[in-house]
Structure 1
Amino acid sequence: MSQEEIIAEKKKAIFASTLELVRENGFHGTPMSLVAKKAGVAAGTIYHYFESKDALIIALYSYLRGKMAEEMLRDDDQTLDYQTRFFNLWKKHFHYFLRHTDVLYFFEQFVNSPYYERCPEKGNDRCQNIIATFLNEGMEKGFLKQMNGKLMSILVNSSVVTSAKIHLTGKVEITETELQQVAQYVWDGIRNNQGF
């Protein structure tokens, strides 16, 4: 294993430990010493990669958003019609959160914390940009209503997050049929009805 691979593995262990501890204890209840212990690395090792807990939390957010972006783009067949691609993207987003519940809850905490304001990638979030670009393309081609792209992106993302949280908390079990219905309601709300 190369030195780069060893470093990458240590960072992954630190990220995985941080993610789990934040879910259990929140940001304030997750000291670097506890992360080091859970990750099986020396406390000094963490500070070698991340100068502070703030830097670690922000780096974790960036890492997770990048991983999510990769998954969102995987298997996006651009030869399909726009509506089909919208449904595929929306449902893929939903299922991602079901498979990665710690990520969903981490994102929720992060965007509602002071960390988000200090995040250098706040305005250049690759994952959010994928959604925004896709929706802007839909508006440009006349498939979607004209609206502030950032606002539409937030509305679509919020519908996914809310649906996933409702399902995960057991308030409502969302079947595949119901998932399709929710995505359809979101689509019906943003699609351009003129000439379609």
Structure 2
Amino acid sequence: MNIQLDTQTHKKTAILESTLLLIKEHGFHGTPMSQIAKNAGVAAGTIYHYFESKDELIRELYIYVKDKLADEILKTDDAGRPYRDRFLDFWVNQCSFFIEYPAILYFLEQYINSPYAKRFAGSESKQFNTKVKPFVAYGIENGLIRKMDYELLGPIVHGSIVAAAKFHLSGHHAFTTDRLYGMAEVIWDGIKEQESKK
């Protein structure tokens, strides 16, 4: 085991997690590098050993949280089960993840609506591209989901997940797992290929 490598990985993760929490509280502009370093328990100069600039840190944080999200979304996936059931898990796992980790939800919301999304348009999580997008594409290509562009389907599914998570986090209603599955079924009924019983 390379102890030095483990220490470096730990420091980088601490910086990313520190940034995530501070951005939730203060936004992008209200989170200086000095505060990130202090909150992560590293020297101010150390942060630049891992990230050339704050912009680079934000870009890597985006990929970091999308990797975590991709792992969580399909953590229970089993290709041998009916696609409908897999989709319900896909929806509920993502919503539950956002409820458990609101800092990630709020970071992604801020990122998508900021200049960073355009500036780093080519930066995306490999995990997301190799796991999540193919899962959705499979449903469309095999006639299980209505034929539509992925970029149109995404806001329908993702938007419902975000809205449900925010509603829960706001304290308006504490959704149980059963209620989340009930909402996921409504979304499935809206996007499934109508002739499909699978």
> TM-score if structure 1 supplies the norm length?
0.92
Deviates more, 1:170-179 or 1:57-66: 170-179
| Aligned position for 1:119 | 120
Q: Tell me the amino acid that sits aligned with residue 159 of structure 1.
A: S
| Correspondence for 1:109 | 110
SS in 2 for 1:41: coil
Which position in structure 2 is the counterpart of 1:135? Answer: 136
Q: Shift of the alpha carbon at 1:88? A: 0.8
Give the 3-state SS of the residue equivalent to 2:46 in structure 1: helix
Retained in 2: the 8 A contact 1:135–1:153? no
Deviations 1:21-45 (A, max 9, x none): 1111111010001111111111110
Q: In structure 1, what residue type is equivalent to 2:4?
A: Q
CA contact (8 A) 1:131 1:153 kept: no
Counterpart Cα distance in 2 of 1:89 and 1:56:
29
Q: In the TM superposition, what are the counterparts of 1:44-55 in structure 2 within 5 Å?
A: 44-55=45-56
Rounded Cα–Cα distance in structure 1 between residues aligned with 2:124 and 2:174: 34
1:85 is aligned to 86
Query: Cα deviation per residue 1:78-131 (whole Å; 9 max; x = unaligned)?
Result: 110100100011101111111111110111111110111122544666426633
- Inter-partner Cα distance in structure 1 for 2:196 and 2:8: 55
Could you tell which deviates more after superposition, 150-159 or 19-28? 150-159
**Cα distance in 1 between the residues matched to 2:160 and 2:5:** 39
Gaps of 5+ in 1: none
In structure 1, the residue matched to 2:166 is: 165
Query: Are residue 58 (structure 1) and residue 59 (structure 2) matched?
Result: yes
Q: Note the alpha carbon deviations across 1:41-65, whole angstroms, 9 max, x for none.
A: 1111001111111111111111111
User: Shift of the alpha carbon at 1:171?
Assistant: 2.5
Residue-pair matches, total: 196
Gaps of 5+ in 2: none
SS in 1 for 2:193: coil
Bigger relative contact order (CA 8 A; separation at least 6): 2
* Native 8 Å contact 1:128 1:153 kept in 2: no
Aligned to 1:146: 147
- The Cα of 1:145 is off from its aligned counterpart by 1.1
Distance in 2 (CA, whole Å) between partners of 1:117 and 1:164 is 25
The answer as to whether partners of 1:62 and 1:121 remain within 8 angstroms in 2 is: no
Instruction: Assess, with a 3 A threshold, how the Cα gap between structure 1 residues 128 and 163 changes in structure 2: closer, same or farther.
Output: farther
Percent identity, aligned pairs only? 42
3-state SS of 2:45 partner: helix
